[in-house]
Amino acid sequence: MNEKPADLVLIDGPVFTADAVRSWTDAVAVRQGRIVALGAPAVRELIGRTTEVVDLAGTLMIPGFVDAHAHPVFGGLGRARCDLLGGEGEPAAPASAGAAETLARVAA
């Protein structure tokens, strides 16, 4: 192996690359937070002693932009209001919910 090993390798699953032609591959290698190789042949060459290898076992991998944040004003207002949409593990109230159900949610 001439190149430094990847930090992370994901293999054996369909991978949607989301490139301009919307192509697919079967493996991804990542080094220092950047994709450095696509496709099983190229990716397997970058597996080293310290590489974390994740076997996708046929599950789909898609790129994602994950951003968990709240704007303080809107987040605060949301927490100050009564949530009538349903709590954790509780379904949202149907649009036809009557006054009694709405009052029960307010009381809870």
CA distance 55 to 73: 42
CA distance 65 to 1: 32
Predicted confidence (pLDDT) per residue in 65-96, tens digit: 777 777 888 878 877 777 666 656 666 666 66
Render 1-31 in DSSP notation, one character per residue. Answer: --SPPPSEEEEEEEEE---TT--EEEEEEEE
Predicted confidence (pLDDT) per residue in 28-55, tens digit: 999 999 999 999 999 999 999 999 999 9
pLDDT at 104: 79
